């Protein structure tokens, strides 16, 4: 299922807290650097770094917008794929009626086992090893379903069963690969590293600019740190919706309802 940059809700929270602490530290560090320069050169004019500050803040805002929008789009796409898989399995299940009656019970039993396995695959996340093991079991059941369906379609007195059932089975199998790839589809690690680096650099520049305003304002310092750390947390959480607080599990209800209808 891929190697995520986080493997649990706690590790995601720890990353956000670490980022928040780093932001506070760099705001204070930037402020101390500016104060040291002001003490060393009391009459010196303020450095003309506003253009650099604006460029860095603009780039940081652009990167946040880019990653947030992408994470939201991928989150919605993953939910849509759950419904698409439920539709493909449901269609194939109904088309089993086209097969000879003697071939149907065995295939229906395999379908129930297969859907149970598909649900269990995503329930086992964030345990990647267990999810991969269940995914392999699903692939084995797919092979058994396909082999038996081809054999039963060949025994049918008409070609209708094969023409309608086999494409539906093919779609049911293909959607598995599509969902796995959607689970693995994330921005490159360097994008997250750049996001964190820009957050820290923005904090340093913000602290440097705050030095000329007099005593530090903890409201602004902590507010900036909390807002940025929370925003980054939400972005990463949406990228891994089986690991944190923002979850796609509710979409699995359509598969559960389908499984209930198979009893």
Q: Is residue 134 part of a domain?
A: yes
Collapsed DSSP state (helix, strand, coil) of residue 248 = coil
- DSSP assignment string, 125-193: TT-HHHHHHHHHHHHHHHHHHHHHHHHHHHHSSSSHHHHHHHHHHHHHHHHHHHHHHHHH----HHHHH
> Tens place of pLDDT for every residue, the chain, 263 residues?
655 655 566 778 888 899 999 999 999 998 888 788 777 766 555 555 677 888 889 999 999 999 999 999 999 999 999 999 999 999 999 999 999 999 999 999 999 999 999 999 988 887 888 989 999 999 999 999 999 999 998 887 778 888 899 999 999 999 999 999 998 888 888 999 999 999 999 999 888 888 776 677 888 899 999 999 999 999 999 988 888 788 888 888 999 999 999 98
The pLDDT of residue 85 is 95
The pLDDT of residue 198 is 94
> In total, how many domains does the chain have?
1
The pLDDT of residue 169 is 95
State the pTM of this model.
0.80
Q: Is residue 150 part of a domain?
A: yes
Q: Is residue 1 part of a domain?
A: no
Q: Is residue 246 part of a domain?
A: yes
Q: From CA 26, how far away is CA 59, in angstroms rounded? A: 18
Q: Is residue 119 part of a domain?
A: yes
Q: From CA 79, how far away is CA 135, in angstroms rounded? A: 19
Q: Is residue 212 part of a domain?
A: yes
Collapsed DSSP state (helix, strand, coil) of residue 262 = coil
CB 215 within 8 A of CB 207: no
Q: Is residue 4 part of a domain?
A: no
Domain that residue 213 falls in: 9-36+50-261
Please choose, from the candidates 126, 91, 81, the residue with its C-alpha nearest in 3D space to the C-alpha of residue 251. 81
Q: Is residue 223 part of a domain?
A: yes
């Amino acid at each position: 299922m891929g190697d995520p940059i986080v493997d649990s809700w706690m590790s995601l929270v720890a990353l956000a807290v670490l980022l928040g602490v780093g932001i506070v530290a760099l705001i204070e560090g930037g402020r101390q650097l500016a104060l040291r320069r002001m003490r060393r050169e009391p009459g010196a004019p303020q450095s003309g770094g506003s253009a650099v500050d604006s460029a860095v803040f603009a780039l940081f805002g652009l990167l946040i917008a880019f990653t947030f929008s992408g994470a939201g789009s991928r989150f919605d796409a993953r939910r849509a794929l759950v419904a698409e898989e439920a539709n493909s399995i449901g269609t194939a299940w109904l088309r089993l009626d086209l097969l000879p009656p003697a071939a149907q019970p065995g295939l229906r039993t395999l379908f129930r086992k297969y859907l149970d396995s598909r649900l269990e695959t995503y329930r086992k996340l964030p345990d990647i090893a267990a999810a991969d093991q269940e995914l392999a079991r699903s692939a084995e059941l797919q092979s058994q379903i396909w082999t038996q369906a081809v054999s039963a379609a060949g025994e049918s007195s008409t070609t209708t069963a094969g023409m309608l059932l086999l494409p539906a089975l093919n779609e049911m199998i293909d959607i598995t690969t599509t969902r796995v790839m959607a689970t693995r589809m994330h921005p490159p690690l360097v994008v997250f590293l750049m996001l964190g680096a820009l957050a820290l650099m923005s904090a340093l520049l913000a602290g440097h600019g705050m030095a000329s305003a007099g005593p530090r304002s903890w409201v602004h310092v902590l507010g900036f740190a909390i807002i940025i750390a929370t925003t980054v947390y939400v972005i990463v959480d949406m990228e891994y919706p089986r690991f944190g607080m923002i979850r796609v599990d509710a979409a699995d209800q359509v598969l559960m309802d389908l499984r209930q209808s198979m009893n």
